[in-house]
Amino acid sequence: MKALALGILAALILLAAPGSQALAAEASEAPGAKPLAVGTAFPDVPLIGPVSPELAENLGISQNGPTPIAKIKAEVLIVEIFSMYCPFCQRDAPTVNELAALIDKRGLADRVKIIGIGAGNSDTEVDIFRKKFKVPFALFSDATFAVHSAVGQVGTPYYYVLKKTPQGFTIVAAHLGLIHSPADFLKDVTAKAGL
Partner 1 sequence: MRRIATLPAVVAVLAALALAAPAPAPAAAPLPPGLAANIFEVPHLPPTDSNLAVAVGSPMPDFDLPTVTGGRVKLSDYLGKKNLVISFVPAAWTPVCSGQWPGYNIAQDIFEENDAALVGITVDNIPTLYAWTRQMGDLWFPVASDFWPHGSLAQKLGILRSDGVSERALFLVDKKGVIRFIDVHDINARPDLGPLLEAMAKVQAEK
Q: Which is nearer to partner 1, 9 or 191 (CB)?
A: 9
- Cα Rg, the chain, nearest whole Å: 17
Minimum CB separation from partner 1 for residue 95, in Å?
16
Q: Which is nearer to partner 1, 84 or 173 (CB)?
A: 84
Is 129 in contact with 84 (CB distance < 8 Å)? yes
**From edge to edge, which strands make up the β-sheet containing 76-82?**
138-142, 112-119, 76-82, 158-165, 168-176
Q: Which is nearer to partner 1, 38 or 183 (CB)?
A: 38
Q: 10 Å Cβ neighbour count for 93?
A: 20
Residues 153, 155, 159, CA angle at the centre, nearest 5°?
95
Minimum CB separation from partner 1 for residue 77, in Å?
22
Q: Which is nearer to partner 1, 21 or 40 (CB)?
A: 21
Residues 122, 47, 164, CA angle at the centre, nearest 5°?
145
List of residues contacting partner 1 (CB under 8 A): 1, 3-4, 6-8, 10-12, 14-15, 17, 19-22, 24-25, 28-32, 83-88, 90, 119-120, 122-125, 128-129, 132, 143, 155-156
Query: CA-to-CA distance for 95 and 103, rounded, in angstroms?
Result: 12
Minimum CB separation from partner 1 for residue 133, in Å?
9
Query: CA-to-CA distance for 68 and 34, rounded, in angstroms?
Result: 22
Minimum CB separation from partner 1 for residue 17, in Å?
6
Minimum CB separation from partner 1 for residue 16, in Å?
9
Of 188, 157, 179, 159, nearest to 42 by C-alpha is 159
Q: Which is nearer to partner 1, 159 or 169 (CB)?
A: 159
